[in-house]
């Protein structure tokens, strides 16, 4: 079922704790390099940071957490790193899915899964099916995901579904076909690892998201680091095009 919340079509409700956090988990390789370890050791530790963040989000009652695990451009990495990441993904799902389920977490993979091997596809389907009816945190993992891929596949699906509307497509026609149609747009975006870029993550959905960049490397991103991001978020004035004066209590 489509879930349409658009910051450009209407003004979203603003809450002190974000409803939806989207994260680019960057810096695993540098974390390892600093310790004279192979890059893959950083990815392994990165997995621990994922589990810790999920736990914290559950305890804070955050509705949606979306994690960028592998971009459509990450195939350009050395083959052995790519295959390590794929097997980490399979093993991580196998090991953790029961615990996610017990914690009422719904797991969804966003991205083009057709390029994954059969074992990974099967494990993803199994994990999604097991957790499909859970009502707690919705944990979306973006894997072989690209923001441009997402917009294009949505346009193509829309065109197939409603060719008669071609030339008059509106937001509400397109958004049900986006990979994350079931979630509100992210309130807070976090990128660890010191780079200030989006790297083809949620291009459509980040239109009015508050952006937070930190030098902390992903394996070091702990509960305290999340609280720093939340504190920064709480200081923002989310105007969505209006003036600051329009937001003052006298005018609401
Ligand atoms: C992010 O860490 C993890 C993935 C992209 C899978 P990196 O592997 O990009 O780490 P750095 O940026 O090289 O430190
Ligand atoms: C972005 O990180 C993708 C993920 C974290 C999965 P990258 O490390 O691949 O981004 P760039 O290449 O530095 O922009
Ligand atoms: Mg990186």
Closest residue CA from atom 12 of ligand 1: 27
Tell me how far the alpha carbon of residue 37 lies from the centroid of ligand 3, in angstroms.
Answer: 16
Q: Is 137 left (phi over 0), alpha (psi -120 to 50) or beta?
A: beta
In the block, tokens 């971009």 appear at 71
What is the pTM for the complete model shown? 0.96
- Say if ligand 1 is within 6 A of residue 193 CB: yes
What are the sequence ranges of the domains in the chain?
20-237
Closest ligand 1 atom number to CA of residue 46: 3
Structural domain 20-237, CATH architecture: 3-Layer(aba) Sandwich (3.40)
Contact predicate 130/103, CB 8 Å:
no
Residue bearing the CA closest to ligand 2, atom 8: 26
Band of residue 251 on the pLDDT scale cut at 50, 70, 90: low
pLDDT (mean) for 171-178: 96
Nearest ligand to residue 28 Cα: 1
pLDDT for the residue 249: 73
pLDDT 10s digits, 141-155: 999 999 999 999 999
The mean pLDDT of 19-36, rounded to a whole number, is: 98
Supply angle C-alpha 104, 43, 190, rounded to 5.
Answer: 65
Taking residues 14-26, report their average pLDDT: 96
**Within a 10 A sphere around the Cβ of 92, how many other Cβ atoms?**
18
Q: Does residue 64 register a pLDDT over 90?
A: yes
Confidence class of residue 3 from pLDDT cuts 50, 70 and 90? low
Closest ligand 2 atom to the C-alpha of 68? Answer: 6
């Amino acid at each position: 079922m489509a879930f349409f919340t658009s910051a450009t079509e209407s003004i979203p409700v603003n809450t002190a704790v974000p409803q939806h956090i989207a994260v680019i988990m960057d810096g695993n390789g540098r974390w390892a390099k600093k310790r004279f370890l192979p890059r893959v050791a950083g990815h392994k530790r990165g997995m621990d940071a994922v589990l810790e963040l999920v736990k914290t989000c559950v305890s804070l009652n955050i509705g949606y957490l979306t994690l960028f695990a592998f971009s459509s451009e990450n195939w350009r990495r050395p083959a052995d790193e790519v295959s390590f990441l794929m097997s980490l993904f399979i093993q991580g799902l196998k090991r953790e899915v029961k615990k996610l389920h017990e914690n009422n977490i719904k797991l969804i993979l966003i991205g083009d899964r057709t390029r994954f091997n059969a074992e990974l596809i099967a494990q993803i389907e199994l994990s999604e099916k097991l957790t499909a009816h859970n009502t707690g945190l919705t944990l979306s993992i973006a894997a072989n995901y690209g923001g441009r891929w997402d917009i294009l596949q949505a346009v193509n699906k829309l065109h197939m579904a409603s060719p008669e509307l071609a030339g008059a497509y509106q937001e509400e026609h397109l958004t049900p076909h986006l990979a994350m149609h079931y979630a509100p747009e992210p309130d807070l975006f976090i990128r660890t690892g010191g780079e200030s870029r989006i790297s083809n993550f949620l291009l459509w959905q980040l239109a009015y998201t508050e952006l937070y960049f930190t030098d902390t490397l992903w394996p070091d991103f702990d509960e305290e680091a999340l609280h720093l991001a939340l504190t920064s978020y709480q200081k923002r004035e989310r105007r969505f095009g209006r003036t600051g004066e329009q937001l003052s209590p006298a005018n609401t």
